[in-house]
């Protein structure tokens, strides 16, 4: 098999893969639209809220390694792995799942999940 035959085969494989990807993307768009219509027309009967914790990366100043000299010192950032609370609820009727990491004050001593409302 010569190089030009192999190159032609590779080009054909790439074209076929791109065509297939485009077909799958179009099908996904149609299905997402169907799901959105069903969720929009549902009256939503949500299950009780479940709280879990998920991994989360925050960036904080790294004071151990100053950058620059004299009065031009500044500190870079370092990634710190931590966890944050996540609240999830699921509609019993259509299966819609809502997740949030936001909270809003209800009283001065308690916070509840804020699901975009």
Residue 59 CA: distances (Å) to CA of 67, 78, 91: 17, 5, 35
Q: Work out the pLDDT band at 2, boundaries 50, 70, 90.
A: low
12-30 mean pLDDT: 96
Count of the separate structural domains present in the chain: 1
pLDDT at 107 (0 to 100): 60
Residue 20 is given by DSSP the state H
Render pLDDT for 63-100 as a digit per residue (tens, 0 to 9).
Answer: 777 777 777 777 788 888 888 889 999 999 999 999 99
How high is the pLDDT of residue 108?
61
Whether pTM > 0.85 for this model: the answer is no
For residue 7, tell me if it sits in a domain.
yes
Q: Is residue 14 part of a domain?
A: yes
Domain that holds residue 9: 1-41
Q: Is residue 87 part of a domain?
A: no
* Cα–Cα distance, 79 to 97 (Å, whole number): 30
Domain assignment of residue 29, yes or no: yes
Residue 113, pLDDT score: 80
Q: Write out the E strands in 1-117.
A: 50-67, 74-90, 97-100, 103-105, 111-113
């Amino acid at each position: 098999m010569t190089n030009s035959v192999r190159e032609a085969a590779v080009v054909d494989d790439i074209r076929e893969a791109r065509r297939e990807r485009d077909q799958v993307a179009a099908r996904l768009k149609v299905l997402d639209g169907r799901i959105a219509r069903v969720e929009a027309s549902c009256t939503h009967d949500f299950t009780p809220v479940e709280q879990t914790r998920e991994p989360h990366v925050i960036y904080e100043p790294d004071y151990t390694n100053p950058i620059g000299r004299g009065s031009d010192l500044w500190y870079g950032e370092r990634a710190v792995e931590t966890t944050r609370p996540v609240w999830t609820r699921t509609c019993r009727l259509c299966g819609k799942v809502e997740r949030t990491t936001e909270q809003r004050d209800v009283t001065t001593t308690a916070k509840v999940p804020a699901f975009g409302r």
